[in-house]
A and B are shown apart, each in its own frame.
Chain A
Amino acid sequence: MNQSSFRRLLRSLLIPVLAVLTALAIGAIIMWLAGDDPIAAYKGLFQGAFGSKRGWATTIRKWSPLLLTGLSVAIAFQAGLFNIGAAGQFMMGTVFSVWAGINFEGMPIYLHLPFALGMGILGGLLWGAIPGILKVTTGAHEVITTIMLNYIAALFAGWTVYAGGSQGQKPGPLWDPAAKAISQTPPVVESARIPFIFGPPYRVHWGIVLAVLMIFLFAWLINKTTIGFELRTVGRNFKAARYAGIRVGWTVILAMMLAGALAGMAGAIETLGVNFKFAPEFGGSVGFEGITVALLGQTNPFGVGLAAFFLASLAAGGAKMQFDSGVSTDIIQVINALMLAFVAAPAIVRWLYRIRKAPEEEEGVPKISWGGG
């Protein structure tokens, strides 16, 4: 790495770091205004995440889904696409993997587990492909279509495990009759479960290693392959990409498929490594937090890894924070939202801290040009 690109790396870290610190400071002010003790809260938060082996284990366990959905949003960003659909892709990954996981009893683990994981990845990939195809063929914007597909995925997933109704409504195909009125699947059979690295009570599983490997795969793909070059070129200037002979339509679809595959993998790992079954309330907000993670990590895979780890620690420490200081875990949602606002609108951070733009940014042609070009 030469000196100027090192300086650029430092500069790119500046905004996210300041966004985090500012969000934490405002969070503290809110707590103080509410009559709580922010120092005790943050202390509890930190201890909850890192103060014990179990805290560490929880942080690491929560790291993997945030990391993968963050990478999902980030890879779409690289191709100039805004994937709001990680939540839906996560959900489809969950449904596909749980289907594979609760069936096929007796299959050896070295077949069953990769199969179930693969199904989850496939589910996300297919769900991601839809907005890509819609964009290329009809011009429908991916932000709209992915939001809609999130609803469809959540409702579809809910239907698959629906317990049926008293008026003769039929139960869903994945519902566990043994659960009676509860809408959930049967447990994932042993041969489809991701083995633990540290068993209960820590429950740290090998899926996390797989997720971390994706950081390196992402970095390699984006920076060292022709596919990455194509994704990035389409993202930065799709006209130049066409000129260069890149198949822009295919590249857009591919980017969305890769994004979906990553989010689907997140769903599969949570299902096969943590929950061992599926119930509609398992989706959580992990798909949306992926957006915060991707922006906080500046769509750089290693940045995404760090950002995901940070958000995971907030999530892991919340319970102890609430227990120690009486501050509701809702404050963590507030801090997450503030961070998202600050990284999405870096001008606020620049203004707050009087940061000048990098010279190459201010050197260019004036942005206000003619005819909306």
Chain B
Amino acid sequence: MPTQPTPVLEVKHVTKRFPGVVANDDVNLTLYEGEILALLGENGAGKSTLMNIIYGLYKPTEGEIYVRGKKVEMKSPRDAIALGIGMVHQHFQLVPVMTVAENIMLGAESVKRGLLDVKKVAQEIQELSHRYHLDVDPYAVVEDLPVGVQQRVEIIKALYREAEILILDEPTAVLTPQEIEGLFEIMKRLQSQGKSIIFISHKLKEVLYISDRIVVLRDGKVVGETTPAEATQEKLAAMMVGREVILTVEKEPARPGKVVLEVKDLKARSDLGEPALRGVSFQVHEGEILGVAGVQGNGQTELVEVITSLRKAESGQVIINGEEMTNASPRAITQKGQSSHVPEDRHAYGMVASYSVADNLVLNTYNLPPFAKGIRINRPAIIRHAEELIEKFDVRTPGPHTPAGSLSGGNQQKMVVAREFSRPIKLLIAAQPTRGIDVGSIEFIHNQIVAKRDEGVAVLLVSAELDEIMALSDRIAVMYKGEILDIVPREEATRENIGLLMMGVKRGEKVGATS
């Protein structure tokens, strides 16, 4: 770090209020030239709101923003871009069917005699990618590119607009470990060229690895500032959540009982009509957690959908509590099969964003007493139920009438978990239960899953996070290309042997055998 750092961006006493919520409360933040500043916080802590203020999307209710010592007032991202601020959103803002060059010039088109000058832009892109080692083909169509490369396109887009300050919003959430490595290299290179970066994350390891300084946000306030040298994962987690967080899950050994879910030689096709399940068989017992590990796209999604009857089984059987339930109605699976399902994609399946929290909490029980008598809905009962669950599962919402879509991701997931965990069940199917949510909520949901197991519920846990599988499972099934390659007892599982299975290498086989 230089001895006399120059601040390039200063946020002074910024407060942002939404009806019923203070999203940012007197926030002060300084970004120095050429540094990587990590902004750490749980979902709903106000990180995104703060970044949207800096990027001109929101106007602060109170407070001021200075860029290079000058007070600025931004009306839209256009002003922010003109001031040299660039943002890479978590959800990419790219047009899939357009080329890289077309995407990059979108909104900043180069025009020659009234026509788009793609050639000139492509040349500039090549210069940029050369300077920052951001390898991208300007003429490639975006939808053909891997996610990691698409992210590079977003970064080039910002650099093309001459950004000096880069905001990266949860950039690693969508990347594979190798792509994350690549991103970090790019960030270091940008830094060495004098760019200043705000890196938003809630992954503690990454923050400690890449940043120069760490600012922690909680409940809209800055609660601390530290450096990787001073901090540890435990300390950062505690700052984020406001209390000690136990990063490992504590649980007693499982006491499995009789079989609750049995899947026999299940076959099904993917949305594209290709075989996704090629004869899957396993059993889940009372009081145990069966973890399903595997690289994404090996049939885990289809497996859960077939068991919950959201997808048709081509052949094979699903037996719940001794009863054949193959291709039964989804309602029969939940109500007759006494099962719960935390879906992988909570926005698509788990909730109705425009519905209130209260309505979402009865999404699959609205027709049962006490919420309905005949066809009449009993609204007071629904509200009471919501108030109870909001309290019990610590869902942070202004109230039961708030639209679920306006909650943070972590709180939306807590809402889904509250609904699915609060009724009497024998089988719990949890798919990616902690995807994209914060440490505090993860700890909470993990403990809830273990508690269900200890009540005697059979748990099928599907997760792309190997750490999660290792922490929770009593047995681990590894899926590879639509098959369960092996089921390993937790005691015998290591990151190495599970990792090999995830790559399609069976136990006893040599590593080179399949490649």
User: Given the known A-B contacts A225-B376, A240-B349, A240-B351, are A359 and B19 also in contact in the complex, defined by CB atoms under 8 Å?
Assistant: yes
From 195 to 252 in chain A, residues with beta carbon under 8 angstroms from any chain B beta carbon are: 223-229, 233, 236-237, 239-240, 242-247
Q: How far is the CA of A239 from the CA of B329 in the complex (A)?
A: 14
B205 at the interface (CB under 8 A from A): no
Q: Which of the 9-residue segments A165-173, A279-287, A363-371 touches chain B?
A: A363-371
Q: Does A372 touch B at the CB level, under 8 Å? A: yes
Instruction: Report B389-407 CB contacts with A as 1/0, cut-off 8 Å.
Output: 0000000000101110110
Residue numbers in B under 8 Å from A330 (CB-CB): none
Q: Complex Cα distance A240/B329, Å?
A: 14
Q: How far, in Å, is A220 (CB) from chain B's closest CB?
A: 9
Which of B19, B349, B359, B376 is close to A224, meaning CB atoms less than 8 Å apart?
Answer: B376
Most buried by B among A225, A240, A372: A240
Residues of chain B contacted by A52 (CB below 8 angstroms): none
Distance (Å) between the CB of A189 and the closest chain B CB? Answer: 37
Interface residues on A, range: 35 or more
DSSP majority for the A interface? Answer: helix
CB B302 to nearest CB in A, in angstroms, measures: 15
User: B355 contacts which of A225, A236, A247, A363 (Cβ < 8 Å)?
Assistant: A236
B377's partner among A225, A236, A239, A365 (CB-CB below 8 A) is A225
B118 cross-chain contacts in A, Cβ below 8 A = none
The answer to the question of A106 belonging to the interface, with a C-beta cut-off of 8 Å to chain B, is: no
Q: Is B466 an interface residue (CB 8 A)?
A: no
Instruction: Decide: A364 and B406 in contact? CB cutoff 8 A.
Output: yes
Known: A4-B401, A226-B372, A369-B91. A237 touches B352 (CB 8 A): yes
Which of B156-164, B242-250, B363-371, B504-512 lies at the interface? B363-371
Bound-state CA distance A237–B349 (Å) is 8
Indicate if the CB atoms of A364 and B348 lie closer than 8 Å.
Answer: no
Does A373 sit at the interface, judged by CB under 8 A?
yes
When chains A and B are docked, how far (Å) is the Cα of A44 from the Cα of B359?
48
Contacts of A4 in B (CB 8 A): 19-20, 401-402
Residue B310 interfacial (CB < 8 Å): yes
Does B424 sit within 8 A of A, measured CB to CB? Answer: no
Kindly list chain A residues whose C-beta atoms are within 8 Å of the C-beta of B89: 366
Chain B residues with CB below 8 A from A364, complex form: 353, 405-406
Residue B347 interfacial (CB < 8 Å): yes
Query: How far does the Cβ of B234 sit from chain A's closest Cβ, in whole Å?
Result: 31
Check if A236 sits within 8 Å of B354, measured CB to CB.
Answer: yes
A247 to B405, CA, bound (A): 24
A373 to B143, CA, bound (A): 13
In the complex, the 3 A-B pairs of residues with the closest C-beta atoms, listed nearest first: A245-B331, A244-B364, A243-B349
Cα distance A246–B350 in the bound complex, in angstroms: 13
B375 touches A372 (CB 8 A): no
Let me know if A243 and B330 touch, CB within 8 A. yes
| Max count, chain A CB within 10 A of own CB: residue among B18, B330, B350 | B330
The reply to whether the CB of B463 lies closer than 8 angstroms to some CB of chain A is no
Q: Interface residue tally of chain B, by bracket?
A: 35 or more
Out of A2, A236, A240, which one reaches B348, CB within 8 Å? A240
Residues of A within 8 A of B363 (CB): 233, 240, 243-244
Partner of A233, one of B96, B341, B347, B352: B352
B residues neighboring A (CB under 8 Å):
18-20, 58, 89, 91-93, 96, 143, 308, 310, 329-331, 334-335, 341, 343, 347-355, 359, 363-364, 366-367, 372, 375-377, 379, 399, 401-403, 405-406
A2: chain B residues within 8 A (beta carbon): 399, 401
A residues less than 8 Å from B377 (CB atoms): 223-226, 228-229
B348 and A368: CB pair below 8 A?
Answer: no
One of A226, A243, A368 near B93 (C-beta < 8 A): A368
Q: 18 other contacts beyond A224-B379, A359-B19, with CB at 8 A cut-off?
A: A4-B19, A5-B401, A223-B377, A225-B376, A226-B375, A229-B367, A236-B353, A240-B350, A240-B351, A243-B308, A243-B310, A245-B329, A245-B330, A245-B364, A246-B331, A360-B405, A360-B406, A370-B92
Give the distance in Å from the alpha carbon of A363 to the alpha carbon of B329 in the complex: 35
Q: Tell me, in angstroms, the Cα distance from A44 to B350 when the chains sit together.
A: 55
Cβ 8 A contact of B347, one of A7, A362, A365, A370: A365
Q: Which residue of B93, B335, B355, B399 is within 8 Å of A245 (Cβ)?
A: B335
In whole angstroms, what is the CA distance A228 to B352 when docked?
A: 15
A242 touches B96 (CB 8 A): no
- The chain A residue sitting closest to B366, CB to CB, is A229
Query: Which B residues lie within 8 Å of A363 (CB)?
Result: 18, 405-406
Contacts A4-B20, A225-B377, A226-B375 given: A237-B91 contact, CB under 8 Å?
Answer: no
Q: Which residue of A lies closest to B368 (CB)?
A: A226
Q: Are A243 and B375 in contact (CB under 8 A)?
A: no
Q: Which residues of B contact A371 (CB under 8 A)?
A: 96, 143
* Distance A226 CA – B91 CA, assembled complex (angstroms): 35
Cα A239 to Cα B310 with chains together (Å): 9
Considering only CB atoms, which chain B residue lies closest to A221 in the complex? B375
Chain A residues whose C-beta falls within 8 Å of the C-beta of B379 in the assembled complex? 224
Known: A4-B20, A360-B406. A243 touches B91 (CB 8 A): no
Q: Is the CB of B352 within 8 A of A243?
A: no
CB <8 Å contact, B403 and A360: yes
By a CB distance below 8 angstroms, the chain A residues around B406 are 359-360, 363-364
A247 with B329: CB separation less than 8 A: yes
Bound complex: CA A266 to CA B492 (Å) = 72
Which residues of A lie under 8 Å from residue B341 when comparing CB positions?
A: 243
| Min C-beta distance of A234 to chain B, whole Å | 10
| CB-defined contacts of A7 to chain B, threshold 8 Å | 19
Q: Are B343 and A243 in contact (CB under 8 A)?
A: yes
B375 near A227 with CB under 8 A, answer yes
In the complex, what distance in Å separates the CA atom of A236 from the CA atom of B356? Answer: 12
Which residues in B have their C-beta under 8 angstroms from that of A372?
96
* B375 and A242 form a contact (CB under 8 A): no
Chain A residue at smallest Cβ distance from B354: A236
Q: How far apart are B182's CB and chain A's nearest CB, in angstroms?
A: 19
CB distance from A253 to the nearest CB of B (A): 16
- Which residue in chain B gives the minimum CB-CB distance to A7? B19
A373, B91: Cβ atoms closer than 8 Å = no
B350 / chain A contacts, CB cutoff of 8 Å: 240, 243
- Least CB distance from A61 to B in Å reads 34
How near does chain B come to A248, taking the closest CB pair, in angstroms?
Answer: 10
Of B20, B96, B335, B363, most buried by chain A (CB within 10 Å of CB) is B363
Minimum CB–CB distance from B3 to chain A (whole Å) comes to 40
Measured CA separation A372–B375 after assembly (Å): 36
Q: For the complex, what is the distance from the CA of A243 to the CA of B304, rounded to whole Å?
A: 12
**A224 CB → nearest B CB, Å:** 5
Chosen A-B contacts, 19 in total, with CB atoms closer than 8 Å, are: A2-B401, A225-B377, A226-B376, A226-B377, A229-B366, A236-B352, A236-B354, A236-B355, A237-B352, A237-B353, A240-B351, A243-B308, A243-B330, A243-B350, A243-B363, A359-B18, A364-B353, A365-B91, A368-B93
**Among the listed B143, B310, B376, which residue makes an inter-chain contact with A242, where contact means beta carbons less than 8 Å apart?**
B310
